[in-house]
Structure 1
Amino acid sequence: MIKRALISVSDKTGVVELAIKLYKMGIEIISTGGTAKLLRESGVNALDISQITGFPECLDGRVKTLHPAVHGGILAIRSNESHMKTIKQLNITPIDMVIINLYPFKETILKENTTLDEAIENIDIGGPAMLRSAAKNYRDVTVIIDPNDYEGVIKEIETTGDTTEETRYNLALKVFRHTSHYDAMIANYLGNNIEDTPQTLTLTYEKLQDLRYGENPHQKAIFYKEVGGRIGSLVEGEQLQGKELSFNNINDANGALELLKEFDETTLVAVKHTNPCGVASGKTIFEAFKKVYEADSISIFGGIIAANDTIDGKTAEAMKDIFLEVIIAPDFTQEALEIFKAKKNIRLIKLKDIKASEVKDIDIKKVYGGILIQEKNMALIHKSEIVTKKQPTKQEMEDLVFAYKVVKHMKSNAIAIAKNKQTLALGPGQTARVWALNNAIENCRHDLSGSVLASDAFFPFKDSVELASRAGIKAIIQPGGSLKDQESIDECNEKNISMVFTGIRHFKH
């Protein structure tokens, strides 16, 4: 039976209604600070915590509930005769219900220009301690941290006079998940101020939505987001129309966005299974789209498109007869939105700050039994070095950089062939570099004469140069660093191909 409840909340949502119902049931209410004042103003005769502890709140409210009279009343196991005898001797009354939510640390750090001192003052100490005490003793104590649980708990008490052990267990689990999340936010926030590699790592994310399924229909999936999100990320986008995003939509869209962020000029990216199938820059977004479509009109079917400029009516008209899963852009004109209404299943995502990218970020890969963490690959070229007799032209150099941006975001081993800032042939995910190049050429329907080639890693042999020469490729960009670099350089000189070393590899697995 619940005879005594402790209520102390930062989020006052629904707390007055809850307290009134408990009070009318004859349950004694203990409270603190602003919560106690609010309850008394609402007609609930709440005892102040100092009346229980016999000790005043002090240090600007930093210390008020950290007292044996509180924690003894929560933690005492009711079926343990020794426990009950002890608290009786100490004149401690059991506390059967704990209703608490914590200082708004997250809300504080998400405000602009929050100082470290302000953040620290919003680190709750007594709240988590009471919550964990109550959750640990869930067999005897009902603990509530979420206002959404008030109604269900009240109904249960009104029906049976108490809560069930199953309910108390579920509420306790919710508490431990919440306090763990809360502490991880604090650790991550403080850790962002220093450069270190901690011996233990706790990451915390917030559920954004349940997904229909994962990569395949038999796999369950959920989409979680970082606390506060990141500017220019998919979680900050506004879906304007279409079905819910699927697991694969989100994964592919992220790949498209990461590649798109390499470009400042007007650019459009088409992605399929996280690999680009067409990339182009143009004077207008319509020109960029036409070049992307012409690059590979087959693979774009069922693909994801990301653009860094507004989708206008002319571009929407060109897109509407192609089966596309998702289109992401900083904005859509009203004319474009009207055109897309006829394709109600197509997902339109408005991402205002689509070009934004945070330099300090990490890349996480889950492996069986652990995770791998690395710095996000934000670099492109370490040092541009022309290693052949033939120099690339200005246009070829621009195309080489363009192609290198694309190949950086393809699964290794990868080859990207481009001309006039338009991809012509792409060869991702092969176990041999020459196979990646061969696949790119064989599946290409374009004349590659005068095009350029980018490779994500060095050429181990001259065979790729020989194959590129036969295809009409006139310039190559690659990291260099092979023991047989000279063999490839000599082959380029013989075939009148220019070659640029970047000094930086871009494996992507």
Structure 2
Amino acid sequence: MAQEMELKYGCNPNQKPAKVFMENGELPFKVLNGRPGYINLLDALNSWQLVRELKEATGLPAAASFKHVSPAGAAVAVPLSPELEKAYFVEGVELSPVATAYIRARGADRMSSYGDFVALSDECDAQTASFLKREVSDGIIAPSYSEEALEILKSKRKGTYLVLQMDADYQPEPVERKQVFGVTFEQGRNEVKLTSECLAERPTRNKEIPAGAERDLLIALITLKYTQSNSVCYAKDGQAIGIGAGQQSRVHCTRLAGNKADVWYLRQAPQVQNLPFREDVRRPERDNAIDVYVGEEWQDLLETDAWKNIFTEKPPVFTREEKAAWLKTLKGVSLGSDAFFPFGDNVERAHKSGVDYIAQAGGSIRDDNVIETCDKYGIAMAMTHIRLFHH
């Protein structure tokens, strides 16, 4: 491993020269293939921390899909339901644990994951590499690669796919620094550990949070620890299903993440799972078509012949009433917030997307209103007293 590495350019092509370096010691990663860019490494190092902590918190292999220094998806290796197998295009495939985590992370928000950076907590096996090869992605970071997996990844993107190997034993200095406009900032690293202990205080009438929901709340909170703030994360069955990042208003985070969670669930509706796609339609086009189908633009598309490029026959309209009825069956969702909810309107929006469990910092002057709104819907809420801002 080297002490420094030159990069193509910084965040933008006009930002030259660019490099990464260590003040002490060597860089904690090796480049096995490709040439890293500035944003690639920001995504790689943030996503690695995320999957490492998910593995530590749950004991399960973890994966993340990053775009522009925030996760599009994050997950651990929980087996897929038949509906998710179909939604994630892996019907009838027996998946390895690390492949399961990756498929879940990628499936959380497939549109946002287009051109992502992937992180794995465990060795990348051939199956995971094979799934990754067929997706549009910029790079991957993992602690190790099987020989076959590495060969598969090296053949991706005409041999330019970025493959990084992380030193799993690396521990950074306790103080971190960065410069903005020539001014150096310094702070202690955010080393807070997110465990079930932070979910102990439950001021709502309903205090029951089952083990699966506790796991999902921790997944949401750990995901938020590496998401640009303000941020909110919905999670279910071992994965993020909707992440709202970088919004100035917390309720906008909640709405954005809730809308993504709704689309995730609508993809499992029978009307979507039975869409008659043409065999020559690629996955990205399928994803785009599904997003249009579950949205409000579908009726406009049906009035043209554009559907013939995607489907073997004209699908029926997925009506607003049908979508609303399907979304009402979404239950057991967990929601994490990187800071306190200032108003009960966040809970109102969360309830519409099946949220039954919440973890948030607490400490608002309107905590009583937030608790009252949770009680209105029977939601169990934990106050963590931990803020997770990330910038």
- Report the TM-score when normalising by structure 2: 0.72
Q: Quote the residue 1:441 is aligned against.
A: 258
Q: In 1, distance between residues paired with 2:239 and 2:75?
A: 4
- What letter is aligned with 1:401? L
Contact 1:303 / 1:325 at 8 angstroms: preserved in 2? yes
Q: In 1, distance between residues paired with 2:366 and 2:171?
A: 37
2:128 to 315, 330, 342: 315
1:166-315 pair list within 5 angstroms: 208-220=4-16, 221-229=18-26, 235-242=27-34, 244-263=35-54, 264=56, 265-282=60-77, 284-315=97-128
1:407 to 215, 224, 243: 224
Offset of 1:269 from its aligned partner? Answer: 1.1
Greater CA drift, 253-262 or 451-460? 253-262
Contact 2:241 / 2:260 at 8 angstroms: preserved in 1? no
1:70-219 pair list within 5 angstroms: 208-219=4-15
Q: Quote the residue 2:335 is aligned against.
A: 453
- What letter is aligned with 2:103? K
Q: In 2, distance between residues paired with 1:309 and 1:258?
A: 13
State the structure with bigger RCO (CA 8 A, min sep 6), 1 or 2.
2
- What letter is aligned with 2:174? D
1:494 to 373, 376, 380: 376
Offset of 1:227 from its aligned partner? Answer: 1.2
Offset of 1:224 from its aligned partner? Answer: 1.8
Q: In 1, distance between residues paired with 2:37 and 2:228?
A: 21
Q: In 2, distance between residues paired with 1:336 and 1:369?
A: 42
How many residue pairs get aligned? The number is 296
Q: In 2, distance between residues paired with 1:342 and 1:369?
A: 41
Offset of 1:331 from its aligned partner? Answer: 1.2
Contact 2:234 / 2:335 at 8 angstroms: preserved in 1? yes
SS at match of 1:443: helix
SS at match of 2:11: coil
Query: C-alpha deviations, 1:9-55, integer Å up to 9, x for none?
Result: xxxxxxxxxxxxxxxxxxxxxxxxxxxxxxxxxxxxxxxxxxxxxxx
- What letter is aligned with 1:266? P
1:480 to 362, 380, 385: 362
SS at match of 2:134: coil
Where structure 1 has 5 or more consecutive residues not aligned to the other structure, the ranges are 1-205, 230-234
SS at match of 2:389: coil
Q: Quote the residue 1:183 is aligned against.
A: none
- What letter is aligned with 1:249? N
Offset of 1:274 from its aligned partner? Answer: 0.5
Query: C-alpha deviations, 1:339-366, integer Å up to 9, x for none?
Result: 2232111111122416x545x5222232
Offset of 1:260 from its aligned partner? Answer: 2.0
Query: C-alpha deviations, 1:156-201, integer Å up to 9, x for none?
Result: xxxxxxxxxxxxxxxxxxxxxxxxxxxxxxxxxxxxxxxxxxxxxx
SS at match of 1:253: helix
Offset of 1:226 from its aligned partner? Answer: 2.6
Contact 2:64 / 2:106 at 8 angstroms: preserved in 1? no
Q: Quote the residue 1:389 is aligned against.
A: 205
Q: In 2, distance between residues paired with 1:262 and 1:357?
A: 13
Q: In 1, distance between residues paired with 2:230 and 2:344?
A: 16
* Aligned-pair Cα RMSD in Å: 1.8
1:350 to 161, 165, 178: 165
Contact 1:207 / 1:222 at 8 angstroms: preserved in 2? no
Q: Quote the residue 1:92 is aligned against.
A: none
Offset of 1:468 from its aligned partner? Answer: 0.7
Offset of 1:320 from its aligned partner? Answer: 0.4
SS at match of 2:178: strand
Offset of 1:369 from its aligned partner? Answer: 4.6
- What letter is aligned with 2:140? I
Is it true that 1:372 corresponds to 2:185 in the alignment? Answer: yes
Q: In 2, distance between residues paired with 1:388 and 1:306?
A: 36
Q: In 2, distance between residues paired with 1:429 and 1:465?
A: 19
Q: In 1, distance between residues paired with 2:137 and 2:213?
A: 32
Contact 2:143 / 2:167 at 8 angstroms: preserved in 1? yes
Offset of 1:404 from its aligned partner? Answer: 0.7
Q: Quote the residue 2:277 is aligned against.
A: none
